[in-house]
Amino acid sequence: MPASISELFWAFTRIALQGFGGVVAIVQRELVDKRGWLTHQEFTEEWAVAQIMPGPNVVNLAMILGGRYFGWRGAIAGVLGMVVMPTFIILVLAVTLANLIDYPLTRDIMRGVSAVSAGLIGGAALRMLGHLNTHVLGLRICLVLFTTTLLAIAWLRLPLIWVLLPLAAVGWLLSYRAYQRAVTT
């Protein structure tokens, strides 16, 4: 865990400034691999909570972790770390580079960066998938839930809320029973 609120603030500022589209991959690297504030499983679970809550999910994660370590002041430091520097940077970019958007080279570069951003998010997801074999539901049921969600969102394009509510409920019930069984046996 971080030693001080300022360490927390700067850790999230560092994460934010490295994030070009795929912040989740950066958070995973920095917090789990480099700093060891969380285990892989803890990270995946906290990410799940941050993602289903309204609001930007990396900001939610910064806030949940900040709050966990240092109470509400930590929560504020986490959020500010995530957004303050990037806001100043984007305003400076808006003043200096806004016209660059119209150049073909900028668009070429953006396509490359977007393709990599998609890969970063996908890679972070692959790493999380790799840790599902220790999941209480077992790998097979997890993969069924995973595939159902993916098809509903990416293929059928159903509204998020109608996918999330029933599948979260099913996942909850199944996990609940699995934990109960683990307790009684």
Partner 1 sequence: MAFKLPRLPTRCDDMTWSVIWWQMWDIFWHLFMLSLIAIGGAITVAPDIQRYLVVDNGWLTPMQFNNAIALAQMAPGPNLMFIPLLGWQVALNSPALNQLSASAPWLVWIIAVLSAFSALLAIVLPSSLLTYQLASWAHARRTRIGIKAFKAGLTPVVIALLVAAALLIAQGIPVVNGRLPQIALTVLAAVLVWRTQLHLLWLIAGGALAGALGWV
Quick one: CA torsion of 173, 175, 176, 177, rounded to 10 degrees? 90
Q: Say whether residue 8 binds partner 1 (CB under 8 A).
A: no
Q: How far is the CB of 6 from partner 1 (least distance, A)?
A: 20
Candidate residues 5, 8, 60, 77; the one interacting with partner 1 per rule CB under 8 A = 60
**Contacting residues for 113 by C-beta, under 8 A, at least 6 apart:** 20, 21
Q: Say whether residue 129 binds partner 1 (CB under 8 A).
A: yes
Three-state DSSP at 15 gives helix
Q: Say whether residue 143 binds partner 1 (CB under 8 A).
A: yes
Q: Say whether residue 158 binds partner 1 (CB under 8 A).
A: no
Q: Say whether residue 1 binds partner 1 (CB under 8 A).
A: no
Cα–Cα distance measured from residue 185 to residue 31, given in angstroms and rounded to the nearest whole number = 35
Q: Which two structure tokens, joined as six digits, stand for 139? A: 């790998």
Cα–Cα distance measured from residue 105 to residue 109, given in angstroms and rounded to the nearest whole number = 6
Q: Say whether residue 50 binds partner 1 (CB under 8 A).
A: yes
Q: Say whether residue 37 binds partner 1 (CB under 8 A).
A: no
Task: For partner 1, give the closer residue by CB, 38 or 79.
Answer: 79
Q: Say whether residue 162 binds partner 1 (CB under 8 A).
A: no
Three-state DSSP at 21 gives coil
Contact 21, 113 (CB under 8 A): yes
Q: How far is the CB of 41 from partner 1 (least distance, A)?
A: 9
Cα–Cα distance measured from residue 156 to residue 35, given in angstroms and rounded to the nearest whole number = 39
Candidate residues 10, 37, 40, 170; the one interacting with partner 1 per rule CB under 8 A = 170
Candidate residues 16, 32, 38, 77; the one interacting with partner 1 per rule CB under 8 A = 16
User: Could you tell me which of 107, 75, 89 has the C-alpha nearest to residue 18?
Assistant: 89
According to CB under 8 A, which residues from 74 to 113 bind partner 1?
75, 79, 82-83, 85-87, 89-91, 93-94, 97-98, 101, 105-113
Candidate residues 1, 4, 20, 35; the one interacting with partner 1 per rule CB under 8 A = 20
